[in-house]
Structure 1
Amino acid sequence: MFVAGCGTGNSTTAGAASENEGEPISGGTARVLQVAEPQSLDPAKLSNTWAHMATLGNALYGTLMINNIENFDIEYKMATDFSSTDGGKTFTLTLRPGLTFTDGTPLDAAAVKYNWDRLKDPQIGSTAGRHAVQVASSEVSDPTTLKVTLAAPNPYFAQGLVAGAMNWIASPTALEKGTTSFDENPVGAGPFTLVNWTRQSDIELQKNPEYWDAPKPYLDRLTIRTAHDANQRMNAMTTGAADLASESSASNIRKAETQGLRYEVVPTGGGQIIAMNQRRAPFDDIRARQAVQLALDPDNLNTVVYNGEGAVPTSLFPEGSPYYTGAPLPETNSEEAQKLFDALAAEGKPVSFTFMSYPASESKMLAEAVQAQLSAYDNVDVKVEMHDITNAHARTASRDFDMSITSAIVQDPDYALWTAFHSTSAGNFMGVNDPELDAALDRGRVSESQDERVDAYTAAQERLDELAVGVWYTRATPSVTYGDNLHGVTLYTLGSPLPEELWVS
């Protein structure tokens, strides 16, 4: 699943989360559920979204900076500045002096450069590579200063940086010892260090006594476990077996409310997409994409996958967004869909493809629901293949899929839309290649006028509809649920919790 990140307001909060929680108390343990199992603790292999391993990455490596989910302002952590004076052509990153990794080596400008350069290596296969490749070059000016030149101007580059592994810096000395050694002893400068990792089970972490932002972290220990299944996560939360769960299920948010649990949901536009790979048959023919888009009923998919409790996007930007125009997304038309399937079959090109899905229950149900809906049409055949997260990421990165679940989850629109759909973006997994769309996305990226950006992204939405890039089937729910005993829950980017802020009562 690739995620690229304009929200519309405050996060949604339930219960006592909005109350004054008092002064933090030090000590204790929190038990956290994440949605995806890591295959390595190398930050390049971790993904910083609610649907993956955000808490783990933040715990081991800390953050250079974060964004405020209400207004998207950049707030600094281990960095003290990341600014441009030339419209996003170059940036200067300034670090706090004296930062060190837990192996005693310096977290300095050279270490940041090493990590960012490494992410660009296709052999590493990091999902953050699509952001890192925007850095054409970087130069260490002094231990706390890195000068960065982008391949093309991007005033909003920091929004992408905070949403991926560029925000997590590991010790170059430890990384150079290889994956096996690093997984046994991952070295960062985060609020926690590894005690033990049992694959497919618990990741035990303890407080880093040398953490730069003392007296944080407040917790003595943190236990992280993966729970792919939405019912398993909710059961753990309602029985008190877990204190916080990253959540990808809209249904679970509704259940949390009825069960008296607290929750936070990051507001977003865009959403998750049933995506079609335009680089190969059958979806290199726009008629095949249009046929599938017209054939699939997102409301029915919502009923099957989310018990009707998900939010089906009706426009790219939600009401309240400065980019909202009311322009609708494409709607279902089964009669026109069948005409297109028949026309392709008459040319000897019946639509046949494989849906590559993931082990999470919602993903599996979606793939099977798509297969069931399309089985009602003639001249279309759908197979479903299940892949674990790591293999699916690799297949997606190599563009080896017909249909998959992807997303363009919109906070500031540049990061999400440019990354997912610009022809030169390394994150354009669907192979969208349209000069008119590129021009609109480029205008939105470089303009510092809000009116010009609105015009640009209106044009981009119109072109995306015409190109039939996929089916926007649900708004994303970057979220966490948590119990009354846990406090200090703070999210940034796409539902990424800051574990140093957590404390228990």
Structure 2
Amino acid sequence: MAGGHGRILTLSDLRSLDPGTIGNAYASTGVVGNALYGTLMTNDDAGEIHYQMAESFATTDNGKAFTLKLRPGIVFSDGTPLDAEAVKFNWDRIKEPATSSPHRSEATMISSSAVVDDVTLTVTMVTQVPKYAQSVVTSSLNWIASPAALRKGVAAFDANPIGAGPFTLKSWIRQGSMELVKNPRYWDSPKPYLDTLTFQTALDTNQRYNTLQTGGADLAIESNPVNFDKAEKAGLPNTVMELSGGLFLAMNTRRAPFDDVRARQAVAAALDLDALNLAAYNGTGTPVDTLFSKASPFHSDTPLRKADNATAQRLFDELAADGKPVSFTFTTAPTSESKTTAENIQAQLGAFNNVKVQVKTVEVAEIVSLRATHDFDATTSSAFFQDPEPRLWTTFSGASPANLTGIADKDLDDALLAGRTAATQQERSEAYDTVQLRLTELSPAVFFTRAEPGAIAGKNVNGLAQYGLGSLLPEEIWIQK
């Protein structure tokens, strides 16, 4: 079972190996973060926390403060200790705007932290967050790199990233391939089972599947339901997480035309999600009708939106009569499904009067930068989750740095905060009912398909395991010889 070389196709390129800048999800190459840095914790399909490099992460006051306990004796790949000081250093720098972390929102929930001893860190929260372990699991807070290596600067760190993960970097050709080798100091021996890994980006949906099927790769990180459908029919091993929320059209409420709620409501009413599913996913996707999936304890049958062409046209006409005809640019990533989604939305809206849509394709890194620049009219984003905390707060709270749409509404913010801090399931359910209602009324986003984070492998590949937001664990993979 042990040994061998694994070739993994990913969905995006990395701009840096600094763990603070890597998104911890399937699409943002979380598998690379897991490979180089390991994990403090993971969770299962039910959202239950499982401890890895951490032994515990406990609160005795319903989330006002937490105590993190590390496994003793864990070392980085250079032999230096991964201790509480290292965790504090990594978590503090994710809070710094200069780090440009996509997970700054999660990190800034911590007010302060203090090292108690080598394996113990206490953290005090800004407001109580009983489910804060979920924030760690779904963000780069889960990855700890050597402070000494990080202090040397980005270029030096990218050339020699020091973590405590199952693999270490051998070589990295940007926009090309990344070669990793087994870390002999990894804490969880005999893992990893593979000796070496190669990562290569494959943006095109068909290319990913064809490369896998013809033996050009052993495993592909996947999100397209068309490919999962093919894999099922071909009998290929695959795994998909069932999550709430999904992918959405994000409309920038900071500037025209979407600073006017009528423009957002018009677009929301105009779109036919079944037609979009057919165009983008050959009808194999799952259109979003409710915020929470039926498997969620927060599920409500109340629909998020209602398609209504007459209402959409009335609003478009009303705006034009006010001298504010709806015209916007849809900024999209270069992946085939992203472009198809944007072009279908453009075509659907083209059937209405007084609305004009242009599509602009940019690199994935530029899409990521929109979180900081806010220089867009509309783009595709996502909020998918097992537990709604922290994803809904970071996506839609007016106080969140990661609020791409810029929506700021007191009732929505109050409900999001109540969902975060409530002590009982009933109180949380009531809060998230209000969240769904406000999202429908304000229409900052149109959720169009459930996310399907997963992976497809060759028939001799085993050990497909994910956590969080579809973050694949490379130490579990083994290849039948």
The residue aligned with 2:192 is 217
Equivalent of 1:470, from 445, 451, 458?
A: 445
The residue aligned with 1:185 is 160
2:14 is aligned with 1:38: yes
The residue aligned with 2:393 is 418
CA shift, 1:179, in A, is: 1.3
Q: Within 1, Cα distance between the matches of 2:248 and 2:62?
A: 32
CA shift, 1:448, in A, is: 2.5
Q: Within 2, Cα distance between the matches of 1:310 and 1:275?
A: 19
2:4 is aligned with 1:28: yes
The residue aligned with 2:131 is 156
Report if aligned partners of 2:111, 2:124 keep a CA contact under 8 Å in 1.
yes
Q: Within 2, Cα distance between the matches of 1:126 and 1:384?
A: 27
Q: 1:14-37 deviations in whole A, cap 9, x for unaligned? A: xxxxxxxxxxx2111111111011
CA shift, 1:317, in A, is: 1.5
Q: 1:339-381 deviations in whole A, cap 9, x for unaligned? A: 1111111111111111111011111111111111112222111
Q: How does 1:248-327 map to 2 (within 5 A)?
A: 248-327=223-302
Q: Within 1, Cα distance between the matches of 2:273 and 2:336?
A: 18
Moved more, 216-225 or 375-384: 375-384
Q: TM-score, normalised to structure 1's length?
A: 0.93
Q: Within 2, Cα distance between the matches of 1:432 and 1:83?
A: 33
One-letter code of the match for 2:38?
G
CA shift, 1:44, in A, is: 1.7
2:86 is aligned with 1:111: yes
Q: Within 1, Cα distance between the matches of 2:37 and 2:179?
A: 15
Equivalent of 1:58, from 34, 45, 61?
A: 34
Equivalent of 2:412, from 437, 444, 448?
A: 437
CA shift, 1:396, in A, is: 2.4
Report if aligned partners of 1:60, 1:188 keep a CA contact under 8 Å in 2.
yes
The residue aligned with 2:207 is 232
One-letter code of the match for 1:101?
F
Moved more, 74-83 or 40-49: 40-49
Q: Within 2, Cα distance between the matches of 1:306 and 1:361?
A: 10
One-letter code of the match for 2:204?
D
Q: How does 1:354-433 map to 2 (within 5 A)?
A: 354-433=329-408
Q: Within 2, Cα distance between the matches of 1:317 and 1:115?
A: 33
Secondary structure of the 1:140 match is strand
One-letter code of the match for 1:64?
L
Q: Within 2, Cα distance between the matches of 1:128 and 1:478?
A: 19
CA shift, 1:325, in A, is: 2.2
Q: 1:53-74 deviations in whole A, cap 9, x for unaligned? A: 11111000000111112x2111
Q: Within 1, Cα distance between the matches of 2:156 and 2:31?
A: 22
CA shift, 1:410, in A, is: 2.6
The residue aligned with 2:220 is 245
Q: Within 1, Cα distance between the matches of 2:112 and 2:375?
A: 30
One-letter code of the match for 2:398?
S
Structure 1, gaps ≥5 residues long: 1-24
Report if aligned partners of 1:78, 1:95 keep a CA contact under 8 Å in 2.
yes
CA shift, 1:484, in A, is: 2.1
CA shift, 1:124, in A, is: 1.6
Structure 2, gaps ≥5 residues long: none
Q: 1:83-103 deviations in whole A, cap 9, x for unaligned? A: 111111111111111221112
Secondary structure of the 1:413 match is coil
Q: Within 2, Cα distance between the matches of 1:397 and 1:167?
A: 22
Runs of 4+ off more than 3 Å = none
One-letter code of the match for 2:380?
I
Q: How does 1:198-209 map to 2 (within 5 A)?
A: 198-209=173-184
Moved more, 453-462 or 203-212: 453-462
CA shift, 1:329, in A, is: 2.0
The residue aligned with 1:141 is 116
Report if aligned partners of 1:60, 1:193 keep a CA contact under 8 Å in 2.
yes
Secondary structure of the 2:294 match is coil
Secondary structure of the 2:390 match is helix
Equivalent of 1:98, from 55, 73, 79?
A: 73
2:49 is aligned with 1:74: yes
CA shift, 1:414, in A, is: 2.0
Q: Within 2, Cα distance between the matches of 1:320 and 1:139?
A: 38
The residue aligned with 1:8 is none
CA shift, 1:248, in A, is: 1.3
Secondary structure of the 1:38 match is coil
Q: Within 2, Cα distance between the matches of 1:258 and 1:473?
A: 25
Instruction: State, as a whole percentage, how many aligned pairs show the same letter.
Output: 51
2:278 is aligned with 1:336: no
Q: Within 2, Cα distance between the matches of 1:40 and 1:107?
A: 21
One-letter code of the match for 1:389?
V
One-letter code of the match for 2:92?
D
Report if aligned partners of 1:194, 1:204 keep a CA contact under 8 Å in 2.
yes
Q: TM-score, normalised to structure 2's length?
A: 0.98
The residue aligned with 1:21 is none
Q: Within 2, Cα distance between the matches of 1:356 and 1:426?
A: 20
CA shift, 1:50, in A, is: 1.0
Report if aligned partners of 1:291, 1:338 keep a CA contact under 8 Å in 2.
yes
Q: Within 2, Cα distance between the matches of 1:443 and 1:135?
A: 18
CA shift, 1:230, in A, is: 0.8
Secondary structure of the 1:123 match is helix
One-letter code of the match for 1:137?
S
Q: Within 1, Cα distance between the matches of 2:428 and 2:304?
A: 20
In structure 2, the CA distance between the partners of 1:226 and 1:117, relative to structure 1 (3 Å rule), is same
**RMSD after superposition:** 1.2
Q: Within 2, Cα distance between the matches of 1:324 and 1:77?
A: 31
Report if aligned partners of 1:84, 1:90 keep a CA contact under 8 Å in 2.
yes
- How many residues are matched? 480
Q: 1:124-171 deviations in whole A, cap 9, x for unaligned? A: 211011211111111111111111111111111111211111111111
